[in-house]
Amino acid sequence: MDNFVNEKDYKLLENDKYTFFVLNRIMNGKCDLLLSNHEDIIICFTENPYPVWIWTKDNVSKDKMEYVYNLIKDKGLLNNKYRFNLKYELYEYFVNRSKEDNIDINILVNMYAYDCINPIRPKDNVLGNIHLCVDNDKEEVINFLKLFHNELGIDKKDDYSNDAKEFIEAKNTFFWENENGEFVASTRFVPNGDLASISFVYTKPQYRRMHYAENLVYEVTMLAKSKGYTPMLYTDSNYLASNKCYEKIGYKLQGKLCMIKIQ
């Protein structure tokens, strides 16, 4: 295994560009762990609290899955400090294999990957407007990040100041400002190649079921498309209301993967 990726790896990911959109992006940055054989295995980890991404080719051999399992084990990652995003066939192998080591593995999140080729304007229009986050909004962005991650229960930090600064400087983070001038919902889009991932979708509890997020996501989806990107997003399969909302504005299911953790 090499400690770098090359054009072969990016080519391999083209067939899984939706489900492994984040892996494709983080391979370009600073990683605590980056391994690839440039054929059927890529492992990438930035830092805690973020998950370890493991990509394997479809129908990869059991010998290769055993190799991945032992590699993760040898790197000291096979404990309850880490989470892993991977395909279901590798998850199933990990579950059965880990029993030999008296390790229990559970799925934390079943993730769906959607894209949106033809956005559909929401039928439920709401008052207010889309607001691009700027420097003066930093404290509000920090507040939304706290609320967002606390509700999800993952990727939580003590301080979101750097994240808020990064979001604002990228000029890709937005609020929905209602008719009373209140910021009620958030989202952002992150480009990579020809895709743009819609994320950070959150509505404050007291403003839910008012269609703010639906209208905000639609507007940001259209903005991403106007810049030449194909919008995509990840969802938790258990969030039926959110998934229905995305489907109403034109998002189509393109792939599935799971997040697991050692218990």
pLDDT in tens, 4-17: 999 999 999 999 99
The two structure tokens encoding residue 245 = 């909302």
pLDDT of residue 3: 94
Predicted TM-score (pTM) of the model is 0.87
Domains of the chain: 7-103 (no CATH), 129-255 (3.40.630.30)
Neighbours of 190 (CB within 10 A): 19
Distance CA 100, CA 31 (A): 30
**pLDDT score, position 127:** 95
- The vertex-192 CA angle with 261 and 235, nearest 5°, equals 40
Given a cut of 70, the residues of the chain with pLDDT beneath it are none
| 77-96 pLDDT tens trace | 999 999 999 999 999 999 99
pLDDT value of position 153: 84
- Determine the pLDDT at residue 152: 86
Please tell me the predicted confidence (pLDDT) of residue 247.
Answer: 95
Q: Are 35 and 54 in contact (CB under 8 A)?
A: no
**pLDDT at res. 166:** 97
Distance, CA of 71 to CA of 94 (rounded, Å)? 12
Print burial letters for 160-184: b (CB count within 10 Å at least 16), e (below 16). Answer: beebbeebbeeebbbbbbbeeeebb
- H helix runs in 118-207, sequence order: 138-152, 161-170
Q: What is the pLDDT of residue 64?
A: 97
